[in-house]
Amino acid sequence: MSDTAKATRFPAHTVTDSADCLICQLEEVDDEATVFRDDLWSCELPTGYEVPGWFFLRARRHALGWQELSQGELDSLGQHLKDLTGAVAEATGALAIYSMNFGESYAHFHVLVAARGADVPADRRGGNIVNLRGERLDRAEALKLVPQVRSAYRRALEGR
């Protein structure tokens, strides 16, 4: 796809260049922040968005938006979301697990999977949960959940 086509497909402020892509940079995070990786998909704590219970499920390659996902990526995304949201629910005890895809700050395809626990007030539920980024960033607490989510995710795979 030409740069011109990309420029008309996303807002002007959206990061589309891989050199500036936060989502690509997650490829370099430590194992302690990684839930799982396979050939197509990866799940990590999102650098700079470390609210406890938040995870990014992302395409491992720099695919921009739904439009650039391959058939293989599309075919496996649903199973990953099922397994990951189940694992986050098991690890956090939250009854509501959100899956959100925006792609406006960074076009590289990723889904924010966010546990909405009972402690989240009414005015921070639904789409307003994104405001917790400015209120509840806590990398140490977010990291504590990774091994539990990783274990629950592996159990989901083994149970199939």
Stretch that binds Zn ion, among 86-94, 101-109, 123-131, 148-156 (CB under 5 A): 101-109
Query: What residues numbered 129-158 form the site for Zn ion, per CB under 5 A?
Result: none
Q: Are 115 and 97 in contact (CB under 8 A)?
A: yes
- Beta pairing partners, 99: 113
CA–CA gap between residue 30 and residue 9 (Å, rounded): 33
Regarding 108 and contact with Zn ion (CB under 5 A), the answer is: yes
Rounded to 5 degrees, what are φ and ψ at 57? Answer: -95, 120
Q: Can you say whether the dihedral through the CA atoms of 31, 37, 43, 47 is positive or negative?
A: positive
The least distance separating Zn ion from the CB of residue 58, rounded to whole angstroms, comes to 8
Stretch that binds Zn ion, among 21-29, 34-42, 85-93, 149-157 (CB under 5 A): 21-29
Q: Exactly one of 6, 21, 151, 154 binds Zn ion (CB under 5 A); which one?
A: 21
- Asked if 107 touches Zn ion (CB under 5 A), the answer is no
